[in-house]
Amino acid sequence: MFLSTIAILAGFLLLIWSADRFVIGASGIALNFGVSPLIIGLTIVGFGTSAPEMIVSGVAAYEGTPNLAVGNALGSNITNIALVLGITALVSPLVVDSKILKREYPIMFFIMLLAWFLLWDGELNISDGYILIFGMFALMIVITMMGIKESRKSKNSNSQENDSLEQEFSDEIPTDMSTSIAFLWLFIGLIVLLISSRLLVWGAVNIAHEYHVSELVIGLTIVAIGTSLPELAASISSALKNEHEMAIGNVIGSNMFNLLGVLGIPGIMGGAVLEPSVLGRDYPVMIILSILLFIFAYGFKGKGKINRIEGSILLICYISYMVVIYRDSLVP
């Protein structure tokens, strides 16, 4: 148990560090090849914040624990909305005023419904996995096209109301990194991601067996919280810098990539028979929280805002969900 706990803690710390190095390296390479900060932010940064979940999912599926990967995908989305945005809003209320993000909400809902339809038979099979992975690449193309369109509109407009998201991304991306150093960080980040994911999965599976809880529950709780730590750190940092669009965008982007990439990987690696609680408890909770986020953040009559009261509601929802999981895990 001691070694398993150490492996989980070390895995979490290395995951956070390596994911950051991976994103910095990929962003530096893209910027040096002339890609705009907006496109980098919407694709590489969004993909990169889900890199820990994707690698952990692949390792878990490879080692014969696909339900841990499924739990990681759904649990990370629930954690991102209820815990990450809940804590971030308590630290600094979030103002939402980006047309790009408002367009991303319907895409996120569509992806949730698509994944729900694919899982409705109680199984994540190989064809489901390929559909989800294809959807991930299609999403990156759509987001890139949206970014290019928005960037051109911004350059051709003299309005003072241009979206500030591009400037926020520009401030976060290293501009003085050589291509060789960027490739080095990308390589190191990827290697450490693989090593730390292996440590995390090994420790998590051992603890699951020790306490006789399902791998799904471990994925929904310990692993989901750990792999969502980069989103928590990024969202709080962005909020404190008044880069509210980044804080919301990190969560929305990560949730879309989680459903497509993190859920798709165990599918194409052999699939999984889902536990009944996935469709009966976890997926409905994710959808309800997503709707709640939409109501809080959209801003039907102007700028949306997630204030401290709403942040507290999200946090209470997360705590309640953890209590339900704990209660259900006690039932033989």
Whether residue 98 contacts residue 163, with contact meaning beta carbons closer than 8 Å, is answered with yes
> What average pLDDT does this structure show over 213-219?
88
> What average pLDDT does this structure show over 63-88?
92
Q: Which helix (H) or strand (E) holds 91?
A: helix 85-91
Q: Which of 56-65, 77-86, 157-166, 227-236 is predicted least confidently?
A: 157-166
Q: Which helix (H) or strand (E) holds 306?
A: strand 304-306
Nearest by Cα to 258 from 285, 231, 284, 235: 231
Is 304 in a helix, a strand, or coil?
strand
Share of the chain above pLDDT 70, in %: 83
Bridging pattern class, strands 272-273 and 304-306: unpaired
- The 8-class DSSP code of residue 160 comes to T
- The 8-class DSSP code of residue 275 comes to P
Cα three-residue angle 52-75-269, rounded to 5 degrees: 60
13-69 pLDDT per residue, tens: 888 788 778 778 877 777 777 766 666 666 676 677 777 888 888 888 888 889 999
Look at the block and give the residue holding tokens 């979940």. 53
Cα three-residue angle 51-199-133, rounded to 5 degrees: 30
Residues 6 or more apart whose CB falls under 8 angstroms from that of 2 comprise none
Domain of residue 319 covers 2-330
How many structural domains is the chain composed of?
Answer: 1
Burial code of 134-167, b = ≥16 C-beta within 10 A, e = fewer? ebbeebbeebeebbeebbeebeeeeeeebbbbbe
Whether residue 119 contacts residue 128, with contact meaning beta carbons closer than 8 Å, is answered with yes
pLDDT band at 331 (very low <50, low <70, confident <90, very high): low
CA 106 to chain centre: 17
CATH number for the domain harbouring residue 152? 1.20.1420.30
172-210 pLDDT per residue, tens: 666 677 888 888 888 888 888 888 888 888 888 888 778
